[in-house]
Chain A
Amino acid sequence: MDAIQHQRAIQHLFWRAGFGASPSEVKKAMSMSRLQLVKNLLRDSSNIKLLTQVFDAPAQDLKNMRQAVKQNAGGSREEMRDKLKLMAQERRESISSLNDAWVAQMSNVAYAFREKMTLFWHNHFACRSKTVGFIQQQNNTLRTHALGKFGDLLMAVSKDAAMLQFLNNQQNRKRSPNENFAREVMELFTLGRGQYTEQDIKEAARAFTGWGFNINGEFVFRENFHDDGLKTIFGKSGKYKGEDVIEMLLANPKTALHISTKIYRAFVNEKIDETHIEAMAKRFYHSNYDIADLMEYVFTTDWFYQSINIGAQIKSPVEYLAGLQRIFNLDFVDKTPVLYTQKILGQVLFNPPNVAGWPGGKAWIDSSSLLSRLQLPSVLFRNETINVSVKESGDVNEERLIRKNKFEINMNWQAFSHSFESIPDAALCKTLASYLLQVPINDATIKRIENRVATPERSETVKQLCISLMSTLEYQVC
């Protein structure tokens, strides 16, 4: 294997198990074996840093808050309206700060792998809530179990207030079952479509009756709402409760196959290889759904490093952003771009389009998102203005983005270019390309980029070359 191929393979691991790596990290990793690198990843991933942006109790439920304001409003209607407005603004700001905090955490070397897994589960257990405390709580649930046993993760998420609220299980009662939760647990979280009947869903919904949450966001089993009659699910009959259904779902190997397929598509290639996925599913099932074990297996197989898999993914908007932080070691001093980029490129954390999550792959790219991606490096690194407006959803509770003309980032180009000190001028552009791009780029493009950059200062040259290389179509994949 030649040096560039070896370097790309190392970067491949860093991209898939995290959000890329800085050139100096890549250099350091070049002398280590793949196995050693994977072991290091797993060792570092024992670090769990929970998000703690929201201090209020999860009970800061919008409905309760509104009621409280109405009850306490001794004054005029205007006064009440102002208070409600202020409340909505505070809520928006705390969701923003939660978003900022998560993206910032992705850039930390020690947390990258766990954060990448948390992001994967965030898309798998896609959920929205207007109660900020619930959002943070659920995100930390995903983080805590991200590399543990899938069964524990599934049970914890299923009992999480945000999910119970989002899928209306709070309204699932004996006398009138609400099937939303039971349906999505089977269709999206475990078995996948077509592995169950409508009758299984109806009966499972009965088993989940009584599952709910209290004002503090804690799971409660409300006995009075529970249907304790006989249910027949997957051909077996019993007085099943929700926990029994979860167990039955895990006992079915189709669950291992469904999750393995999603992991393969997210971490290896959108185009599936059934042989590899079957091997993953078998191992996953027999390890009692050990997520860390499955990921270690994937990252140490030879097929993971085949060139067909390197650079085969279109970066998600969050990977794009987190990748900038990791490769360039940059800070967003003004956090506006963090949210703004997510909005214009179509992936806002904590705001998936629906319970099926973001479709990903080619769906990240349409005419307008592609154009925005090409402009972004100039906008960020040259303090340019981006001329794209974010679509408002029409929902009064949705976040509105205050547009700013300039973004402020903290980026030390001198330190970055230090890694390339020994590279002769003639090889500089090509060398930078090898660190920034996971696929080969045409020599003619390299030439054009080289021709237009001519500054006496090395770090300025590095900066200009990087911006140009990042404005290419090749930079959009990892």
Chain B
Amino acid sequence: MKRRTFLKKTAFTTAGSLLIPQFLKAYEQNHLGQNPLNHKILVVIQLSGGNDGLNTVVPFRNDIYYRERPSIAINQNNILRLNDEIGFNPALEKVKELYDNGLVSVINNVGYPNPDRSHFRSMDIWQTGSSSEEYLSSGWIGRYLDAQCIGQSCLPHQALEIDDTLSLALKGHQVNGLSLLNPEKLYRQTQSAFVKTLTDIPAADNHDNIAYLYKTLAETVSSAEYVHTKAKVNKSRMMYPTTELGKSLNTIAELITSGVSTSVYYVSLSGFDTHIRQNDQQDRLLRQYAEAVNVFVNDMKANSRLDDVMVLTFSEFGRRVKQNASSGTDHGTANNVFLIGGPKRTRPILNEAPDLTNLDNGDLKYSIDFREVYATLLDDWLQTDSTKVLTQKFNKLPLF
């Protein structure tokens, strides 16, 4: 049976229009006409598994570094020097290019008090923006969506994750972000008469999960239609790498240049859990990261959008200073964070390099709370009230 025939045969008789809650409709009408060019955009790249920051931004003049890492330290001659103390891992060549053009900020020693070395817990902490003692069920980007939606309706596509599933970071109390790999596909999926009909009749049961399923479907249908309507399906002219991250950043670039009203994009690159034979794995992953980001930034520049687009890169924790017996490193604490894109930098290296003589039981001590980075981006970049999102006030960093 052909697809069309199938649809005809299985279609319910519908009222002919998309039957979704009225507030969603109202939202669409409000937002379809807005000019997204006024909006700043944040792209978050999560390096999952705990990227070893010391081998990413290398303290190449430090004897302790070479002493503690006899087989995995990066050879001094290969370092891409940023100043007299620190330099990039050679795999970050393409990021160094952006750095030389004044488009990168390196923030050292980012962490939080009483660090948790479990991937899940530490990722939870970074994604929710909690302290290590509190447990939150919403993410910081989700709560940003909540804050934006006070007094008006919101739809999930204001924060998009390029993936199959939605991270905790994008889950709010009132609104969730939307995950999609491709807007065209998502739209096609929501177009069957059957799917539309399901959103028409309310549930007979009051289970929490049933209500959640109905709400999710209604929002999905509406958001898919919006993103599809809005997105011009024009291919990017740049040649993106064929890696997962390359493809994802390509999708993000196409949505941004099409003027979709999405403020935050989220994407992950995993595989950084390098307990053994670290160097090959890290080299491959950092290279993938650098190549994809480089093309993305150049794409934004070519489309005159670079001033509005900022890329934040983080990992849930760094690694121990000392290497382990299997040429890897164990879970550590403080780490470096990158900001790429946006306006030119006044301070490409924001703060001091890690102090390897002053360690906490073999671990780096943090000097900047990761929520100070979030607070600065929320207040000064996304123009929202960071205290509402983070539930307390944090110092701001001189990033802009």
Contact = CB atoms under 8 A, between A and B. Distances in A.
Given A183-B118, A474-B203, A367 B164 contact: no
Interface stretch (B31-39, B82-90, B182-190, B228-236): B182-190
Contacts of B10: 378, 452, 468
Given A178-B275, A178-B325, A477-B210, A384 B6 contact: yes
A195 to B, nearest CB: 13
Interface string B94-138: 000000000000000000000001111100000000000000000
Contacts of A444: 201
Interface in A376-420: 378, 382, 384-385, 387-389, 391-395
A230 to B, nearest CB: 19
Nearest to A172: B325
A369 interface: yes
Interface in A429-478: 439-445, 448, 451-452, 468, 471-474, 476-477
B279 to A, nearest CB: 16
Contact of B120 (A311, A313, A354, A468): A354
Contacts of B245: 394
Nearest to B137: A362
A193 B119 contact: no
Contacts of B324: 171, 176, 178
Contact of B165 (A346, A355, A473): A346
A423 interface: no
Contacts of A344: 164
B275 A180 contact: yes
Contacts of A374: 194-195, 198, 217
B120 A473 contact: no
A290 B192 CA distance: 50
B181 A473 contact: no
A175 B325 contact: yes
B207 A311 contact: yes
Contacts of B275: 168, 171, 178, 180
Interface stretch (B59-67, B219-227, B335-343): B219-227
A445 B205 CA distance: 13
Place the interface of chain B in its size category: 35 or more
A471 B197 CA distance: 11
A365 interface: yes
Contacts of A442: 201-204
Contacts of A312: 207-209
B203 A473 contact: yes
Interface in B303-355: 324-326, 328, 330-331
A13 interface: no
A366 B330 contact: no
B244 A178 contact: no
B195 A367 contact: no
B207 A439 contact: yes
B207 A370 contact: no
Contact of B209 (A362, A393, A395): A362
Interface residues of A, number: 66
B165 A369 contact: yes
B325 A171 contact: yes
A198 B1 CA distance: 62
B179 interface: yes
B4 interface: no
B237 interface: no
Contact of A474 (B180, B190, B210, B244): B210
B26 interface: no
A368 interface: yes
Contact of B276 (A171, A363, A388, A468): A171
A233 interface: no
A272 interface: no
B214 interface: yes
Nearest to B9: A452
Contacts of B214: 473
A391 B164 contact: yes
Contacts of B188: 387
Contacts of A394: 243-245, 271, 288
B120 A368 contact: no
Contacts of B331: 179-180
Contacts of B217: 370, 374, 473
Given A356-B120, A393-B244, A448 B180 contact: no
A314 interface: yes
Contacts of A187: 118, 121
B198 A370 contact: no
B343 to A, nearest CB: 32
A270 to B, nearest CB: 8
B357 to A, nearest CB: 21
A206 to B, nearest CB: 14
Nearest to A384: B6
B216 interface: yes
Interface string B21-58: 00000000000000000000000000000000000000
B220 A173 contact: no
Contact of B117 (A183, A371, A392): A183
A366 B216 contact: yes
A375 interface: yes
B400 interface: no
A314 B328 CA distance: 40
Contacts of B202: 442
Interface string A261-304: 00000000011000000000000000000000000000000000
A392 B244 contact: yes
Given A176-B325, A346-B165, A448 B201 contact: yes
B291 to A, nearest CB: 13
B209 A314 contact: yes
Nearest to A437: B205
Interface centre among A311, A366, A369, A385 (most CB of B within 10 A): A366
Contacts of A371: 186, 189-190, 195, 220
A314 B325 CA distance: 44
19 contacts: A171-B275, A175-B325, A178-B326, A178-B330, A187-B118, A311-B205, A346-B164, A355-B119, A365-B213, A367-B216, A368-B186, A370-B217, A371-B189, A371-B190, A374-B217, A375-B189, A439-B207, A444-B201, A448-B13
Given A365-B212, A374-B198, 15 more contacts: A171-B275, A173-B325, A178-B324, A179-B330, A356-B119, A367-B166, A370-B213, A370-B220, A385-B3, A387-B188, A389-B181, A391-B244, A451-B12, A473-B217, A477-B210
9 closest Cβ pairs, A-B complex: A367-B220, A176-B325, A171-B326, A394-B244, A439-B205, A442-B204, A473-B213, A371-B189, A440-B204
